[in-house]
Amino acid sequence: MAQVDVNLPGREYQVFIQQGALPELGKHLQNSGLKSHAAVISDSNVAPLYLQVVLDSLAKSNISTSFHSIPAGEKSKSMTQVSSICSEMIQAGHDRSSFVIALGGGVVGDFAGFVASIFYRGIPFVQIPTTIVSLVDSSVGGKTGVNTPEGKNLLGAFLQPRLVLADPETLRSLEPREYKEGYAEVIKHAAIRDAAMFDDILALDPSDQSPPEELIARNVAIKARIVEEDEKETSGTRALLNFGHTIGHGIEASVPYGSLLHGEAISLGIRAALYLSEKKAGLSSQDHALVLKALTHFDLPLELPSEIKTSTILSKLKTDKKFSQGQIRFVLLAELGKAFVSQEITEADLSEAIEHLRTSI
């Protein structure tokens, strides 16, 4: 078992990464002090696979539960769905002494965390991530939220989980496309903080859906250290995690939710950010090519579909949280492992980078 500690004063928690960990959930909850009524929130894809294991473990630890399901996919990250689940929880007898368990990928984690942040003005929650994106990124750090027609995660709250229990066995049930898209976040971590990780990424067999616990822990540790430095994005350090996400989120918001998986949109955003990094920050062509090689290794898209208009992406960008008083904060790479936030990127630069995505590699 690998363990990463997230050291936030008064809000410390552990991330446990272990093959076959789900049956031990109840014990981990008791050790973290969570022993009361649990609301398990999952989706229509994940629940049929892993819900019973979770419920059996909770029952063995004498933790009473209710189960609440949302349809799989980004469309469920809405205030309408939040209201519905909160009503279900009230009817199930939950109150401020209860806690939420998020069983699923990034959508479930963001959604369930947001429910926990507002239910009775805030109750604890636990993350059980079941995708690469959620294992290495979204389950750690306390960002919760839902989408609006104007953009992704524009409504949300910071709420650190009480515990994260990651069982890599759950990755085996993912469709290959869903598995591979998560590596955009792994590649992002390597690009901004750990250049040596590219050797390990390229050594992986993309068809073997059982990444080493150590690689997952290495990514979680990068996320944890950045969150510790800048929990609520006040110093700018946490903004480094947005590498590839500025244009990536604009692309993701420009098509119907789910048309492009999150990691696929971020892959395109990373290519755009690499282009601007070489042009504006002196990133070497060799470093640029290595990141593209890693994205290609996992069959992630690098060319923008022609039907997605540049003007649409730019309009979506202007509602993104990465804009501050109309000024874009764009993450660039000076070299692999060394990222920084620039306020020198103009709308013309963004447009040029988006158009670059229409060219072949």
Task: Specify the CATH number for the domain of residue 72.
Answer: 3.40.50.1970
Domain co-membership, 341 together with 251? yes
> Can you tell me which residue has the tokens 């579909």?
305
pLDDT digits (tens, 9 = 90+) for 30-58: 999 998 899 999 999 999 999 999 999 99
Please report the pLDDT score of residue 317 as a whole number: 86
Q: Is the pLDDT of residue 325 over 70?
A: no
Q: Taking all residues of the chain, what is their mean pLDDT, rounded to a whole number? A: 95
Q: Is the pLDDT of residue 74 over 80?
A: yes
Q: What is the mean pLDDT of residues 252-279?
A: 93
In a domain, 307, yes or no: yes
In this prediction, residue 167 has a pLDDT band, given cuts at 50, 70 and 90, of very high
Burial status of residue 348 (CB atoms within 10 A of its CB: 0-12, 13-18, 19 or more)? exposed
Domain co-membership, 275 together with 324? yes
Query: Nearest 5°: CA angle at 49, between 47 and 53?
Result: 85
Q: Where are the beta strands (DSSP E) in the chain?
A: 2-6, 13-17, 38-43, 65-70, 99-104, 125-129, 143-148, 151-158, 163-166, 323-324, 327-328, 330-335, 338-342
Task: Specify the CATH number for the domain of residue 181.
Answer: 1.20.1090.10
Q: What is the mean pLDDT of residues 141-148?
A: 94
Q: What is the mean pLDDT of residues 159-166?
A: 97
Please report the pLDDT score of residue 108 as a whole number: 98
Domain co-membership, 151 together with 269? no
Please report the pLDDT score of residue 236 as a whole number: 86
Which residues have a Cβ under 8 Å from the Cβ of 296 and sit 6 or more positions away?
Answer: 302, 361
Q: What is the mean pLDDT of residues 209-215?
A: 95
Domain co-membership, 63 together with 74? yes
In this prediction, residue 323 has a pLDDT band, given cuts at 50, 70 and 90, of low
Domain co-membership, 164 together with 190? no
117-121, 192-196, 324-328, 342-346: which has the minimum mean pLDDT? 324-328
In a domain, 159, yes or no: yes
Q: Which two tokens stand for residue 116?
A: 């926990």
Domain co-membership, 164 together with 192? no
Please report the pLDDT score of residue 258 as a whole number: 73
In a domain, 70, yes or no: yes
Please report the pLDDT score of residue 259 as a whole number: 86
Domain co-membership, 202 together with 344? yes
Domain co-membership, 221 together with 343? yes
Domain co-membership, 186 together with 305? yes
Domain co-membership, 31 together with 88? yes
In a domain, 11, yes or no: yes
Please report the pLDDT score of residue 233 as a whole number: 84
Predicted TM-score (pTM) of the model is 0.93
Domain co-membership, 250 together with 136? no
Of 173, 200, 231, which residue constitutes the final position of a domain?
173
> Can you tell me which residue has the tokens 């800048």?
230
Task: For residue 163, give its domain range.
Answer: 2-173
82-86, 121-125, 197-201, 343-347: which has the minimum mean pLDDT? 343-347
Q: Which two tokens stand for residue 73?
A: 């996919």
User: How many folded domains does the chain comprise?
Assistant: 2
In a domain, 55, yes or no: yes
In a domain, 318, yes or no: yes
Of 138, 173, 208, which residue constitutes the final position of a domain?
173
Which residues have a Cβ under 8 Å from the Cβ of 116 and sit 6 or more positions away?
Answer: 99, 100, 122, 123, 124, 125, 144, 159
Of 107, 138, 173, which residue constitutes the final position of a domain?
173
Higher pLDDT: 235 or 176? It is 176
In a domain, 199, yes or no: yes
Domain co-membership, 156 together with 220? no
pLDDT digits (tens, 9 = 90+) for 87-140: 999 999 999 999 999 999 999 999 999 999 999 999 999 999 999 999 999 999
In a domain, 361, yes or no: no
